[in-house]
Amino acid sequence: MDLDNPAKRRRGRQLEEAILDAGWQQLLDAGYAGFTIDAVAERAGTSRSVLYRRWPDRDALLRATLKHGLNQGRRDPEDTGSLRGDMLAALRQANSTRSTVAPLLSVFMGAYYAESGRTFADVRADAFGEVAGRSVDIILERGIIRGEADPARLTARVRTVAMDLFRHDLLMTAAALPDEDLVAIVDEVFLPLVRPAGETGFA
């Protein structure tokens, strides 16, 4: 699509969204090495000057593209009626949507991390900002209300352990995890850490 064609011209936020969509697809298809101003402009059907009016350089465009792409499809976690069900649903959702992104953030972005000195944690912080971890917070608050989670046991490390393990395995394998691995994260690690002392069983 030619975004600069007067008959089809897009402006403002609509144009920016189209460029970021193109940038995200370029990243997924070609990785960091293939993510250039020229390549994104061509894919978006616009000119380099249009991109440079919004982002001063490749790095700024890359950061905006990562934030745009990584936030696609985000929604509040499903309420299944139990802490175990909620966390499993969240992990399964992440597994289905993030497995295609894992190769990008691990293998294809290696050169970016080396050149910039930034890390995956930095990329995640840029992308999600204050909403990072919000889904787990919602799940745990529900669990506290139901009496399934003990707030006294919810240290910063315990709160993030399930997603941390999931992200670790996803980045190591660059592929979706088998469902039994998700169940093991919840049943063998997460629930024993967050349940009130002495409580057992999988509701």
Give residue limits of the domains in the chain.
Answer: 12-69, 74-194
* Architecture of the domain defined by 12-69: Orthogonal Bundle (1.10)
Mean pLDDT for all residues in the chain: 87
CATH topology (fold) of 74-194 = Tetracycline Repressor; domain 2 (1.10.357)
pLDDT (tens digit, 9 = 90+) per residue, 18-41?
999 999 999 988 888 899 999 999
3-state secondary structure the chain: CCCCCCCCCCCHHHHHHHHHHHHHHHHHHHCCCCCCHHHHHHHHCCCHHHHHCCCCCHHHHHHHHHHHHHCCCCCCCCCCCCHHHHHHHHHHHHHHHHCCCHHHHHHHCHHHHHHHCCCHHHHHHHHHHHHCCHHHHHHHHHHHHHCCCCHHHCCHHHHHHHHHHHHHHHHHHCCCCCHHHHHHHHHHHHHHHHCCCCCCCCC
Q: Is the dihedral of CA 147, 148, 150, 151 positive or negative?
A: negative
**What average pLDDT does this structure show over 80-94?**
96
pLDDT (tens digit, 9 = 90+) per residue, 127-152?
777 655 688 999 999 999 999 999 99
pLDDT given at position 85: 98
Note if the pTM is more than 0.75. Answer: no
Is 170's pLDDT higher than 50?
A: yes
Please name the amino acid found at residue 83: L
Q: In the chain, what's the furthest Cα-to-Cα distance?
A: 69
Confidence label for 111 from pLDDT (cuts 50, 70 and 90): confident
Is 57's pLDDT higher than 90?
A: yes
Alpha-carbon distance 156 to 164, whole Å? 12
